[in-house]
């Protein structure tokens, strides 16, 4: 049973996203993801575990060093937190096979998190990957 409030759970999710993706703190994985964490929709071909998310954070920061996630909506009920976001950054390193363009790219998405005892245990994600691919010039 989760004894955290919905506000606590929202704060955990926000700290995870800010830490891992906006600040590039790979240690956020250890702080905010449970040891038995599962990412149901792993991005960028990474594994579905904590190390996969650490790798995803590292890949994003290498390609887009100023990457940041702007919160559009954050709602919670019981142990579930849903985030709708718009992230952006300057494409300065290779990403998904695309050479750096120097352009600002945007990624919109929705994440669903399940929080247990102060840590995220499950994460589902729907990202506008096609929009990102188009911005990187990989398709018409």
CB 39 within 8 A of CB 127: no
Length of the chain: 140
Global confidence as pTM: 0.93
pLDDT band of residue 140 (cuts 50, 70, 90) is low
Determine whether 93 is exposed, middle or buried from the number of CB atoms within 10 Å of its CB (0-12, 13-18, 19+): middle
DSSP label at residue 40: S
Within 10 A of 64 (CB to CB), how many other CB atoms are there? 23
What domains appear along the chain, each with residue ranges and CATH number? 6-135 (3.10.450.50)
In tens, the pLDDT along 66-121 reads 999 999 999 999 999 999 999 999 999 999 999 999 999 999 999 999 999 999 99
């Amino acid at each position: 049973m989760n004894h955290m409030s919905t506000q606590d759970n929202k704060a955990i999710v926000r700290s995870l996203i800010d830490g891992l993706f906006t600040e590039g703190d790979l240690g956020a994985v250890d702080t905010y993801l449970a040891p038995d964490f599962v990412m149901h929709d792993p991005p960028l071909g990474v594994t579905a575990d904590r190390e996969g998310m650490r790798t995803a954070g590292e890949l994003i920061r290498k390609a887009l060093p100023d990457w940041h996630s702007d919160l559009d909506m954050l709602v919670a009920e019981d142990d579930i937190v849903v985030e709708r976001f718009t992230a952006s950054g300057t494409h300065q390193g290779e990403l998904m096979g695309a050479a750096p363009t120097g352009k600002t790219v945007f990624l919109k998405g929705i994440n669903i998190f399940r929080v247990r005892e102060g840590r995220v245990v499950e994460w589902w994600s729907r990202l506008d990957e096609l929009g990102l691919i188009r911005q990187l010039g990989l398709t018409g």
